[in-house]
Amino acid sequence: MIFIARPRKCRRVEFIPENRHFAPIDRIGCQADEIVLKIEEVEAMRLKDIEKLSQEECAKKMDVSRQTFQNIIGEAREKVVRALIEGKAIIIHGGNYELELNRYRCRRCRRQFKTIQEKENFCLRKCEIQRIEGGDNNE
C-alpha cells in the first residue's frame, strides 16, 4: 500500500448503516478474522449498486474525482467479496468522511432523506416517515 503525504479531502457521505458488524452465522462467537469496511466505501457501493447512479453522479455526490471514486468502490467490493469467500467478519468503521445530514428516515425501508419531498418521490407513499432527532444518523 502506498501512502501519499498530502491532506486528504473528506468524502461526502449521506448514509451510515445502523448495523455495522457482520459475521458468518456459524462463526458467531468465534474469533473470525475481521475486515474493516470504511464508511465511505459502503457509501460508494450504496450509490452505485443500490441507487444505481452513474459513476459520474456518484463521484459528484461524494465530492471526489471519478478516479478516486473508482478506487474507493474497487477496494470496497474486494473487501466484501473477500469476506464472503474467506468467511470473514465485516466491521463498518471509520474512514475519511463528512456526514451530510439527512433529517428523515423511512420506517419501512430504512432509507434516509433530506426532505419529505425526496422521500415521497422515492418510496411508496405508504411507507411511514420518521423524523431523525437532531439529524442524528449515528445512533
Q: CA–CA distance from 113 to each of 38, 71, 90, 98 (Å)?
A: 21, 26, 26, 16
Q: How far is the CB of 52 from Zn ion (least distance, A)?
A: 16
Position 127 contacts Zn ion (CB under 5 A): yes
CA distance 22 to 33: 11
Task: Report if residue 129 touches Zn ion, rule: CB under 5 A.
Answer: no
Q: Judged by CB, which is closer to Zn ion: 21, or 108?
A: 108
Closest CB to Zn ion among residues 23, 123: 123
Check residue 110 for interaction with Zn ion (CB under 5 A): no
Q: Which residue from 106, 114, 129, 135 is in contact with Zn ion, where contact means CB under 5 A?
A: 106
Instruction: Give the closest residue to 38 by CA, choosing from 88, 97, 83.
Output: 97
Q: Which element (helix H / strand E) includes 121?
A: helix 116-122
Interface residue list for Zn ion (CB under 5 A) = 106, 108-109, 123, 127
